[in-house]
Amino acid sequence: MFEVLNHFQKKFQTLTKEGLRFQGLSLIDPKRKKHVIMISKPFVFDNRKLPKVYDGLEVKAKIEGELPLEFIVDARQEYRWAPQRFEHFVDRCGDEIRKKLKNPKMTRQEMLDALAFGNFEAHKKKCSELLKEGKIPPLSLN
């Protein structure tokens, strides 16, 4: 497992310039002995550059730093990662996002994909299913 982690770190080392930090391996399920690669990154980060799984290990990320206004909510009552929040943020801060990601020609959809875990439409679909199942609360934009 440590070999996989070392390979992962070498492969994605260049992303440290964009704020990626390697946290190491983490045991998330002691019964099944399931380990993951833990990383941290800023909120405005192009998630399309990272795999969800690397050589059999899931890649789990936590966000370092402040969240944009759209995402500062009481997580017990509202779903922080609602697709509409990403849309509002991209619409409000598109130029800043393009500048931070060093891509002045990014489209709205590309920004949404980059910020919303790599694939905005897949995230939107998953949220819709979770909402129908009652696993996340409905969105309330005040």
Quick: pLDDT tens for 78-134. Answer: 999 999 999 999 999 999 999 999 999 999 999 999 999 999 999 999 999 999 999
Query: What is the tally of helices (H) and strands (E) in the chain?
Result: 4, 4
Q: What is the pLDDT of residue 140?
A: 67
In this predicted structure, the answer to whether residue 142 has a pLDDT above a threshold of 60 is no
Please report where in the chains the tokens 């909120």 appear, as a residue: 43
Q: What is the pLDDT of residue 141?
A: 59
44 and 90 both lie in a single domain: no
Q: What is the pLDDT of residue 30?
A: 86
79 and 115 both lie in a single domain: yes
30 and 80 both lie in a single domain: no
60 and 14 both lie in a single domain: yes
Distance CA 59, CA 8 (A): 10
3-state secondary structure of 122: helix
State the angle between helix axes of 120-132 and 83-100 in degrees (0 to 180), rounded to the nearest 10.
160
Q: What is the pLDDT of residue 29?
A: 84
> What is the count of structural domains for the chain?
2
How many CA atoms within 13 Å lie on the side-chain side of 125?
Answer: 4
| Two tokens, residue 50 | 């990272």
Q: Which domain holds residue 57?
A: 2-64
Percent of the chain with pLDDT over 90: 85
Residue 8 maps to a domain: yes
On average, the pLDDT of the chain sits at 94
Residue 55 maps to a domain: yes
